Amino acid sequence: MVTLILMSALGCYGYALGGGLVAPLLRSRASLRIFDLISGLILSTVALVMAVGLVSP
């Protein structure tokens, strides 16, 4: 039980810390567009791989 609480707390603080580290990189519109493009490509690839994994035996 203590481990679960610790993992949850570390995850929340790690998410906030990671956001704080990435925020200065995304101040301009150009870098935000690039970030959106890259994250969209990654998510689309993951969705495609998962769909192929569900369909193929």
Average pLDDT in the chain:
91
pLDDT at 34: 92
Q: In whole angstroms, give the CA distance from residue 20 to residue 46.
A: 26
Question: What is the domain range of residue 49?
Answer: 2-55
pTM recorded for the entire structure: 0.62
Q: In whole angstroms, give the CA distance from residue 53 to residue 56.
A: 6
- Residue 57 pLDDT > 80: no
SS (HEC) of 13-40: HHHHHHHHHHHHHHCCHHHHHHHHHHHH
Structure tokens belonging to residue 19 = 């956001």
Per the structure, the count of domains in the chain is: 1
Q: In whole angstroms, give the CA distance from residue 7 to residue 11.
A: 6
